[in-house]
Amino acid sequence: MRSVISVYVENKYGVLARVAGLFMRRGFNIDSLTVSETEDSRYSRITITMDGDENSREQLISQLTKLQNVRSVKLLGGDSTVEREIMLIKVKNTPENRSEIMAATEIYRAKIIDYTTDAMCVEVTGEPSKIKAFIEVMKPIGIVEMCRTGVVALDRGANVLEK
């Protein structure tokens, strides 16, 4: 089961290491982890997507809550959450596949951000499922390399993380 967890942490020395270390030590599997500044410079927000059953998810949330630098932890996901991820994907640019790449880019509302005679770099933004679908389309064309930011997510409406 995939879960998205938002963690509001103090912007202090070693916080990321503490959070990442917890995952390693307790044997949780992270799919992605992002850290960024928030509206308040004293705090950062960590968004984690993980795979695991309900029990290990509850354990993880409880263990995260115990870290001294963690202010609050919230399980996101489902209809009440907006999720986005950015991917940069570089594909081979050949006369045969050029039009296909451009068509896919158009349909996925992605952007070509770099273009040379032998490669193109496409920026795709969207939910992880969209990113995944775009990768599938590019696979037969020939992916040179790719990079994803990992999921960022917020509650819809006026709901906020307890701070």
The site for another protein (CB under 8 A) is made up of 13-14, 17-18, 21, 25, 55, 58-59, 62-63, 65-69
CB of 78 to another protein, least distance (A): 23
Whichever of 56 and 97 has its CB closer to another protein, that residue is 56
Residue 38 or 59: the one with the smaller Cβ distance to another protein is 59
Torsion sign over Cα 47, 51, 147, 141: negative
CB of 14 to another protein, least distance (A): 7
Residue 101, C-beta contacts closer than 8 angstroms, at least 6 positions apart: 91, 93, 112, 120, 122, 138, 141
* Structure tokens that stand for 163 in this block: 């701070």
Burial class (CB in 10 A: 0-12, 13-18, 19+), 25: exposed
Task: Give every CB contact of residue 66 below 8 A, 6+ residues apart in sequence.
Answer: none
- Closest to 56 measured CA to CA, from 64, 44, 67: 64
Please, which residue, 41 or 116, has the CB nearer to another protein? 41
Shortest reach from residue 70's CB to another protein, in Å:
11
Min separation Cβ 113 and another protein, Å: 36
- Nearer CB in complex with another protein: 14/140: 14
N residues, the chain? 163
CB of 54 to another protein, least distance (A): 10
Residues 3/56, Cβ–Cβ less than 8 Å = no
Residue nearer to another protein on the CB measure, 13 or 29: 13
